[in-house]
Amino acid sequence: MELTMKHLKLIFVLAVAIGMAGCQSKVEYGDATEVETVNENFGSTDLQAIAAKMVDSMMTFPPVVVITQSQRPIVFVDRIKNKTSEHIDTESVTDTISNKLLRSGKFRFIDMTKVDSVRKQLDYQNNSGLVDPSTAINFGRQIGAQYMLYGNLSSIVKQAGSTKDVYYKMTMRLMDLETGLIEWSDEKEIRKTKSKSLFGK
């Protein structure tokens, strides 16, 4: 049977359709807590390990246990400083640690990232003339933080031939704002090694 132009066009359309179907990407949900080993860079597994280590350490440190026995101290969390050569979302690390501590029921937090927004809202309530003065929140009524939680994330990267070694260290401290004394400090270390194969990256 001789192929006509119509048959050739039909075969071409089918081939294109099959080819496009084969090239379609597939998206699946994965376990957010599963170990992530896509590359040697700082990833979700590192974030979870650091957050768990820091929270457990702080919550079980004897002086902190004493501090939280009869009260829920008010803590201001300073954004963790990124001292690595990578672009790392340290705000995400800070948020995860803050959330874990808050959910423990032992601490209360002041969100310093929203101070400007709060100031604008209070100014609107007190000075715009649009809000009933009996319902407006007065300036100077917010409670100050008693402690500041802060930290640094640093790294050392070394490479020899086909092997790359990355060492991360997270250091965190809890400072008493009244006295300036450090009430707690700890660090978490992570080391990753990547070896290139002969046939690929």
- In a domain, residue 23? The reply is no
The pLDDT score that the predictor gives to residue 131 is 92
Does residue 148 lie within any of the structural domains? Answer: yes
Number of structural domains in the chain? 1
Q: Give the pLDDT score at 93.
A: 84
pLDDT at position 147 is 96
Which pLDDT score is estimated for 33? 56
Predicted confidence at residue 2, as pLDDT, reads 56
CATH number of the domain encompassing residue 74: 3.40.50
The answer to whether the beta carbons of residues 153 and 83 sit under 8 Å apart is yes
Report the pLDDT value the prediction gives residue 121, as an integer from 0 to 100: 93
> What pLDDT tens digit does each residue of the chain (201 aa) get?
555 666 667 776 676 666 655 556 676 655 545 555 555 567 677 888 888 898 999 999 999 999 999 999 999 999 889 898 888 888 888 888 899 999 999 999 998 888 889 899 999 999 999 999 999 888 888 889 999 999 999 988 888 877 888 888 999 999 999 999 999 999 988 888 877 765 555
In a domain, 82, yes or no: yes
- Size of the chain, expressed as the number of residues it contains: 201
Domain presence at residue 165: yes
Q: Residue 1 has what DSSP assignment?
A: -
The answer as to whether 51 is a domain residue is: yes
Please indicate, yes or no, if residue 56 is contained in any of the structural domains.
yes
Per-residue confidence (pLDDT) for residue 17, from 0 to 100: 63
- The answer to whether the CB of 176 falls within 8 A of the CB of 145 is no
In a domain, 22, yes or no: no
pLDDT at position 5, please? 66
SS (H, E, C) 162-198: CEEEEEEEEEEEEEECCCCCEEEEEEEEEEEEEECCC
- Predicted model pTM: 0.72
Q: Please give the residue range of the domain that contains residue 110.
A: 41-130+143-194
